[in-house]
Amino acid sequence: MPVPEVRESFSQAIYTVRLGASWEEGGTRTKVVTVGGERALPFHHFDGEIPNPPVVAMEVWDIPPEDWPDPVRAPFQGVLDSPGKWARKCVEEYGADLICLRLVGTDPAGENRAPAEAASVVKEVLAAVGVPLIIWGCGNPDKDNEVFPVVGEAAAGENCLLGTITQDNYKTLVAVATAYKHKLIAESPVDINIAKQVNILAMDAGFPLEDLVIYPSTGALGYGIEYVYSIMERTRLAGLGGDKFMAQPILCDIGKEAWAVKEARASKEEQPSWGDERLRGPLWEATTAYMYLLAGADILIMRHPQAVRAVKEMIQILMRGRG
């Protein structure tokens, strides 16, 4: 007697978030990206529809990243001092689906660049590539609140993803995203209750829940990744189960975390038994990304082209069961 097929069904789909705006929509993007829309757990095509594959964004900074180790700087030699050229290389040579522009140079603890300078860089990158932009602040709340109104206006009509809002700093960025029609990244410190609270605060301030992307913080392979995985899994289950405050696509900041740990950074002279860091580092980043794909990540922010290529190939494999 055949065993009946059992399928898991869920009451709600993850919100669909569209990034970038074409000429017809008032923007200048030649490519738009759609994430979310899942009606099943990651890559469980047998349970429900997964209409949109996860996507990979590559990092571009507004200043040269002096703290990056040599293996991850090497693929970008000659363009690190030009955000536009750097972004174009990421898209045309390395296949980035989006560009994540980090406004590190605006940090008061660093170069303390003015909002107008940040806006100029945003315009430069928008002119250089046709993919959607993620625009990430420096992380200093006061400075980000000065920078984003100018940057948001400079990118008006382009439907960018701006970040991040937190439970302590969200009002200015919500107003900017609303005024200039951008999407938002809602950040929380690996805590499902705080993640929900940030979304509620944004909604109470008038921002649509369906225009948010959740960023639950990210840990590298070997550094608490199991705990972050469990939080992401609970978030996705809650969203699919009907909780509208948890039904947003998820973003993971892979490159920043993976290349911060000694297992990726250390040279073979420092750790002879660990092997060549030119292979080890990208492997560490790619393996970290694989874990988060299985936890439910919709957007991965990455650095090394080898890791990006490996992850994009894995996404293609995992999406083969669709339809």
The 10s digit of each residue's pLDDT in 41-100 is 999 999 999 999 999 999 999 999 999 999 999 999 999 999 999 999 999 999 999 999
CATH code where residue 281 lies:
3.20.20.20
**The pLDDT value given to residue 3:** 47
User: Domain containing 137: what range?
Assistant: 16-318
Higher pLDDT, 216 or 222: 216
CA dihedral (71, 97, 198, 190) in degrees, to 10, reads -40
* 80 in Cβ contact with 73 (< 8 Å): yes
User: Residue 66: inside a domain, yes or no?
Assistant: yes
Total number of domains constituting the chain: 1
Measured CA to CA in angstroms, residue 105 lies from 28, 43, 65, 111 at distances of 25, 38, 10, 5
**The pLDDT value given to residue 322:** 63
CA distance 71 to 311: 18
User: Residue 5: inside a domain, yes or no?
Assistant: no
Measure the CA angle with vertex 290, ends 286 and 291; round to 5°. Answer: 120
User: Residue 109: inside a domain, yes or no?
Assistant: yes
User: Residue 7: inside a domain, yes or no?
Assistant: no
- Phi (first) and psi of residue 206, to 5 degrees: 100, 10
User: Residue 11: inside a domain, yes or no?
Assistant: no
- CB atoms inside a 10 Å sphere around CB 210: 15
> H helices of the chain, where?
70-73, 83-92, 115-128, 141-154, 171-180, 192-204, 225-240, 254-258, 262-265, 277-295, 305-318
Measured CA to CA in angstroms, residue 117 lies from 62, 103, 128, 143, 181 at distances of 9, 10, 17, 13, 22
The alpha carbons of the chain give a radius of gyration, in whole angstroms, of 19
**The pLDDT value given to residue 5:** 66
User: Residue 273: inside a domain, yes or no?
Assistant: yes
Average pLDDT over residues 213-231: 91
CA dihedral (303, 307, 312, 313) in degrees, to 10, reads 170
**DSSP structure class, residue 14:** P
pLDDT at 141 over 50: yes
User: Residue 188: inside a domain, yes or no?
Assistant: yes
Measured CA to CA in angstroms, residue 314 lies from 103, 249, 308, 309, 317 at distances of 30, 19, 10, 9, 5
User: Residue 147: inside a domain, yes or no?
Assistant: yes
Structure token digits, residue 232: 């992401």
Measured CA to CA in angstroms, residue 196 lies from 96, 169, 216 at distances of 30, 15, 10
Can you say how many angstroms the Cα of residue 52 is from the centroid of all Cα atoms in its chain? 15
